Copies of this chain bind each other. A is one copy, B any other.
Amino acid sequence: MDTTFALQCPIPIQDYPTITLAHGGGGKLTQMLIERMYLPAFRNPLLESLHDGAILSLAAPTNGLARLAFTTDSFVVSPRVFPGGDIASLAVFGTVNDLAMCAAQPLALSAAFIIEEGLPMEELWQMVRSLARAAEEVGVPIATGDTKVVDRGKGDGLFINTSGIGLIRPGIHVAPTRAQPGDVILVNGPIAEHGIAIMSVREGLEFETALTSDSAPLHGLVAAVLDAVGEAVHVLRDPTRGGISSALNEIARAANVGIRIYEAQIPVGDAVRGACEILGLDPLYVANEGKCLVIVAPEAAEAALAAMRSHPQGREAAIIGEVVAEHPRRVILRSRIGGQRIVEMLSGEQLPRIG
């Protein structure tokens, strides 16, 4: 590591004197923290891959080499229970998904609770049960844990951190930097469901169709795609906070490529579309918790699509765009009526505490 990092705060304090909710929103301000503060401070090749998890190669005693993925995520979602899930199942699936995005089969999870004094014991139990059920569904053990309690008024009921380790499939190297012109971009189903489900609860909105979070584990879907097209998979990314716009912008920057997506091809459910219009939200910026962007070599696109559609988590999978050499580091959306616009990274905070 580098000992020579700046003595001065690398983010201009006159412009950003305090942390705001937007610094946790997954958009530009989050990116600023990562790029200007964390990366220079913690400089190391593992972190610089800017992947959803770190990848470690491990020399085994007999000179074999195992590659491990290592990832961490804290969950502070409010409300803690929402249509389609709760903070505990989200914590399991979210970390399993970060491992899956490294092409890793989950080996073990940790669970660390930060509890506010006064949380009803019964509610802790409900969340512990949900966490256990979710871990069982995935088939991954909660291998280690921790509980801290903070004074009343110094927390918000329950925060959960889950970290995970997974074994990366031999021969597979997925990374945002591997996106290359010609590659095809797929998504496994309708977007924006998690964020809209949370918002509809918070805003007390009632819709004819229930709006349910898409929170789900994606390791099985990813395994099916890797079984089908293997090394032709270049990038895997779960578009959580900041939605697919932030995820695609991060990939475009990491690989120094352009990305083109087609509005007409991006699956959005009718109820979600309606709720987005009422709430004034763009589904491209809304969080997902059971969606995966898969970027593959063009010759593998149809096989990848078929593999996704054969999996319960990918019935409504679609090809939504491609990687291009033009407009590097920019994501361009072609609209239904033939126009096009730049899809910026989320600026500010659209949906605080969504995950």
**Is A334 engaged at the interface, CB distance under 8 Å to the other chain?**
no
Min CB–CB distance A57 → chain B (angstroms): 10
Name the B residues within 8 Å of A147 (CB-CB).
23-24, 30, 33-34
In Å, the complex CA distance between A42 and B76 comes to 21
A209 within 8 A of B: no
- Tell whether, in the assembled complex, residue A76 and residue B150 are in contact, meaning their CB atoms are under 8 Å apart: yes
With a cutoff of 8 Å between Cβ atoms, the chain B residues found around residue A111 in the complex are 42, 72
Residues of B within 8 A of A76 (CB): 114, 148, 150
Looking at A44, A73, A110, the one whose CB has the most chain B CB atoms below 10 A away is A110
B150 touches A153 (CB 8 A): no
On whether A19 and B119 interact (CB within 8 A), knowing A60-B60, A68-B165, the answer reads yes
Tell me if A9 and B143 are in contact (CB < 8 A). no
Q: How far is the CA of A144 from the CA of B99 in the complex (A)?
A: 12
Q: Which of B16, B71, B132, B167 contacts A1 (CB 8 A)?
A: B132
Q: Which of chain B's residues has its CB closest to A17's CB?
A: B121
A104-119 vs B: 1/0 string, CB under 8 Å?
0001101111111111
* Distance A66 CA – B44 CA, assembled complex (angstroms): 24
Interchain CA distance A159-B75 in the complex, whole Å: 13
Chain B minimum-CB-distance residue to A133: B3
How large, as a class, is the contact surface on chain A? 35 or more
Q: Which residues of chain A in 133-149 are interfacial with respect to chain B, using CB atoms and an 8 Å cutoff? A: 133, 135-136, 141-149
* Complexed CA–CA distance, A68 and B108 (Å): 11
- Say what secondary structure dominates the interface of chain A: mixed
Partner of A23, one of B21, B71, B115, B131: B115
How far apart sit A61 and B66, CA to CA, in the bound complex (Å)?
Answer: 7
Shortest distance from the beta carbon of A16 to any chain B beta carbon, whole Å: 5
Known: A9-B121, A42-B131. 11 other contacts (CB 8 A): A19-B116, A24-B148, A30-B147, A37-B124, A42-B142, A53-B144, A54-B143, A68-B68, A73-B112, A114-B161, A163-B163
CB-based closest 5 A-B pairs: A24-B149, A60-B60, A62-B64, A60-B64, A54-B143
A sample of 23 inter-chain contacts (CB < 8 A) reads A1-B135, A3-B136, A5-B132, A9-B122, A22-B149, A24-B147, A24-B148, A24-B149, A34-B147, A37-B125, A42-B131, A42-B142, A54-B144, A70-B108, A72-B112, A74-B113, A74-B148, A110-B163, A112-B163, A148-B159, A148-B355, A151-B353, A163-B163
